[in-house]
Chains A and B, each alone.
Chain A
């Protein structure tokens, strides 16, 4: 290994290929988001595959059958916890949807001011 700065395997793995990248959508912002979403989709698949392996091993070792797992019915307390988690999870993922609807509402009432506007205001008051 080089005597200089140690290699950064994470940055190296992510390196860009030489040559201008084509963008296909009219708006390159859409493509950036798609690219991130696809990476998340892949990592989600990785997690699902790992969980599947775990379930199969747990079953093979006789600790639990997958049928038991599928037949799992949470008790009332667990159900409430799980539902809260799911609700929060969905809200997290769709944060921007909520924020954009809030923005629409505030635009109607004029309560969301642009930074430049507030800057000007503070400069003079």
Chain B
């Protein structure tokens, strides 16, 4: 096995002023999980496909006289397939272990992490929390990706635990593919702008659903003169994200607790409005409302761009079924619904000119400090540094 197939050790994760202090055992747990995930996607998942092609699909065709018409038929047919059951049970266990590992790391030193965050956040005008902001149903109905307490739960006053846990595990879940600071999404957008639109100089940037701001920071660094606003409904994420950005020396981001459906900024306030892996965690009413709000907030000549997993249109039913795994089994209930949408039509309904809609593929910037060799094309469905970017320019 060449080294490029091995995920980098978690010990390479980017540390900053509020990152939990981890020992050898914590790193070993995350390394175990990264390698378990690699084994499941690299060794077991191809066998799940084989079982479908060789056993499950022929049996379905025998019984029905046709191939499965959609992913739902594939899902029902695969439910009793042992290879799929084993892969799924292990993947679910891996997600649960990842949460346990991150939370055990964080909760044993919670006072210390919260104190460090409080010191970095003290009296900062760039952290604006608003306890009146309600956590929407889509963020509280279930704990998204099996993260106990979701993004928003505060275990103690002025808590950052949800942010610290989130930050500590992404590197393991993604096998380091998003870079040391897990900021591959933001880096990809910044790089795409530099390459495709070198003259675009946004004065104000808005990031909706920023969580800990890991994808906001690269934009703030790419446009140091821009005023950047990062919003989220979850205070623990914002406290942690603000402290994180501060300690990384980034001062041009305002972290604001707000609901993307209604912001109190004036019309045409922003030149760039972005989201990263956000829409699949919203809802069928929230998404069009937020798109309309983005249209209102965007200045003429402004750009909105969104990183997501690819839409299902035109994808074979088996691949849709596999990509849907997180919707059913990793508490991502809107994932399945959202990936069926006609995004161009949705953006048009929000006011955007259909002719200015675009969809493209963007790849994460490879972090050479952890991947000395160019990384492979391997994808672990939702966990690799490869996204669909969609958006539109406002005339």
Contacts and interface: CB of A to CB of B under 8 A. Distances in A.
A16 B110 contact: no
A23 B28 CA distance: 27
B149 interface: yes
A58 interface: no
B24 A34 contact: no
Contact of A38 (B25, B97, B156): B97
Contacts of A2: 156-157
A12 interface: yes
Contacts of A46: 25, 28-29, 32
A9 B85 contact: no
B383 interface: no
B89 interface: yes
A10 interface: yes
Contact of B93 (A18, A26, A34, A50): A34
B391 to A, nearest CB: 31
Contacts of B303: none
A7 B155 contact: yes
Interface string A26-68: 1000010011001101100110011001000000000000000
Interface string B162-186: 0000000000000000000000000
Given A9-B104, A25-B85, A34-B90, A17 B99 contact: yes
Interface string B128-150: 00000000000011110011111
B83 to A, nearest CB: 11
B88 interface: yes
A18 to B, nearest CB: 4
Contacts of A49: 24-25, 27-28, 31
Interface in B328-358: 328-329, 331, 333
Interface residues of A, number: 31
A17 B25 contact: no
Contact of A24 (B92, B146, B156): B92
A13 interface: yes
Contacts of A41: 32
Contacts of B142: 17-19
Interface of A: 1-2, 7, 9-10, 12-19, 21-26, 31, 34-35, 38-39, 41-42, 45-46, 49-50, 53
8 contacts: A14-B100, A17-B99, A19-B142, A26-B80, A31-B89, A38-B90, A45-B29, A49-B27
Interface of B: 24-25, 27-29, 31-33, 36, 80, 84-86, 88-90, 92-94, 96-97, 99-101, 103-104, 107-108, 110-111, 140-143, 146-150, 155-157, 328-329, 331, 333
Top-8 shortest CB links A-B = A19-B142, A9-B107, A13-B104, A17-B143, A49-B28, A15-B148, A13-B103, A17-B146
Given A15-B103, A42-B36, A46-B28, 18 more contacts: A1-B110, A9-B108, A10-B104, A13-B100, A13-B103, A17-B143, A18-B143, A18-B331, A19-B142, A22-B88, A24-B85, A35-B93, A35-B96, A38-B97, A42-B29, A42-B33, A42-B97, A46-B29
